[in-house]
Amino acid sequence: MSEFSIIFIDDNFNAMSTLVQTMSVEFPQADVSRIFNDPDKGVQYVLDNLDKQMIVFVDWNYKGTTKKGLSVLRSIRERTSLLYVVMMSANQIIQNGVQNSEVIEMMNEDNFYFYDSSTKDDADAVTLVKTILGKWESNFDCVLEQWLLRHPEDNGKVIISQRGVDYTWSDILKEVRMQTQFGRDFERRANQSTIHRYKDMQNNI
């Protein structure tokens, strides 16, 4: 079973593309089979699977459409800020009719990286994925997921009820990843609780 997925939304990619093959070799624990030439289908797949751990590589331009990578990023960010997105382009986007406001919008995004694919050096992309994997070690949703993998007996346990709805640990992971109001509130309370716990431990030393 794959530990996470690397998704490609690029109209020139297929299973034999160099970057896809490199990711398959460098990260055997990842599912790299999801390749979308149609950006709309790629976005829909991502939004339908926000409860899963993913890294999404997004091309800047798509042939035969006015859609750009920025619109893909916007669609994802309307639903979650947790997902890591890697924008990639073989062209100099600053000289490719891109407005300063668009560049600023991308730079101000959380969990966002840019990969210059014109260098033909997949090592840079591999480094970005490794960086993201390192960040996952401390992200709340990833820590919770790893804990549930070690304690599968707790997945279905109801731990909180709110407004007549029961939430299991598995439900909470999904709510956090989808960035619902409940998920954001739970993560905030959990982080505050951890800080208070360490403060109490310090006071008892």
CA distance 44 to 75: 9
Residue 18 has pLDDT above 60, yes or no: yes
- Say what the pLDDT of residue 158 is: 92
pLDDT attached to residue 204: 64
Query: What confidence category does residue 7 fall into, taking pLDDT thresholds of 50, 70 and 90?
Result: very high
Q: What is the pTM assigned to this prediction?
A: 0.77
Of 164, 134, 117, the closest CA to residue 10 belongs to 117
**Which one has a higher pLDDT value, 26 or 200?**
26
The mean pLDDT of 130-135, rounded to a whole number, is 91
Q: Write the secondary structure of the chain as one string of H (helix), E (strand) and C (coil).
A: CCCEEEEEECCCCCCCCHHHHHHHHHCCCEECCCEECCHHHHHHHHHHCCCCCEEEEEECECCCCCCEHHHHHHHHHCCCCCCEEEEEECCCHHHCCCCHHHHHHHHCCCCEEEEEHHHCCHHHHHHHHHHHHHHHCCCHHHHHHHHHHHCHHHCCCEEEEECCEEEEHHHHHHHHHCCCHHHHHHHHHHHHHHHHHHHHHHHCC
Higher pLDDT, 153 or 91: 153
pLDDT(176) > 60: yes
The per-residue pLDDT for 6 is 98
pLDDT digit string, tens, across residues 42-65: 999 999 998 889 999 999 888 877
92 pLDDT above the threshold of 70? no
Whether the pLDDT of residue 94 is over 60: the answer is no
State how far the Cα of 151 lies from the Cα of 87, in Å rounded to an integer: 35
Structure tokens at 14: 């297929």
Per-residue pLDDT averaged across 150-170, rounded? 90
Angle at 69 between CA 183 and CA 33, to 5 degrees: 75
